[in-house]
Amino acid sequence: MQLVNNVPAAPAAIGPYSQAVKSQGFLFCSGQLPINPSSGKIEATEAEGQATQVFANISALLASQGVGMQNVVKATVFLQDMADFPKVNALYDAAFAGHKPARSTVQVAKLPLGALIEIEVIAEVA
């Protein structure tokens, strides 16, 4: 098992966990919040902007291990408001560019730092 904790293009963990863990051919990415890694803050105030940042963070984590969105086998999307689902779904579709991993989407009461969205993924790695 390899802990992934030094990906500067993705936000640092805000708690006692790793950005990702690589194990047995898979990369288990911790839930990504819409934190801009440069500022360390959530800058976007609407779901679309936050989702765009989350996908950039996920892409950075995957790229750090030599893979991309096409290697994702499972995604879990957490939304503060299910009314944002259509907007986020369109951005999700674009981010995955036709690749369709297994996915769950759930509405939650609250997310860390007041975020509107968080996404975690599992990707296949070599």
pLDDT digits (tens, 9 = 90+) for 16-61: 999 999 999 999 999 999 999 999 999 999 999 999 999 999 999 9
The DSSP bridge partners found for residue 39 are none
What fold characterizes domain 2-124?
60s Ribosomal Protein L30; Chain: A; (3.30.1330)
Question: Do 19 and 61 form a contact (C-beta atoms < 8 A)?
Answer: yes
Say what the pTM is: 0.96
Give the Cα separation of 100 and 105 in Å (integer): 14
Q: Give 115's pLDDT tier (boundaries 50, 70, 90).
A: very high
Q: Is the pLDDT assigned to residue 71 strictly greater than 90?
A: yes
For the chain, what is the mean pLDDT?
Answer: 97
Give the Cα separation of 115 and 78 in Å (integer): 10
Can you give the residue ranges of every domain in the chain?
2-124
Eight-class DSSP state of 11: P
Q: What confidence score (pLDDT) does residue 126 get?
A: 78
Eight-class DSSP state of 39: T
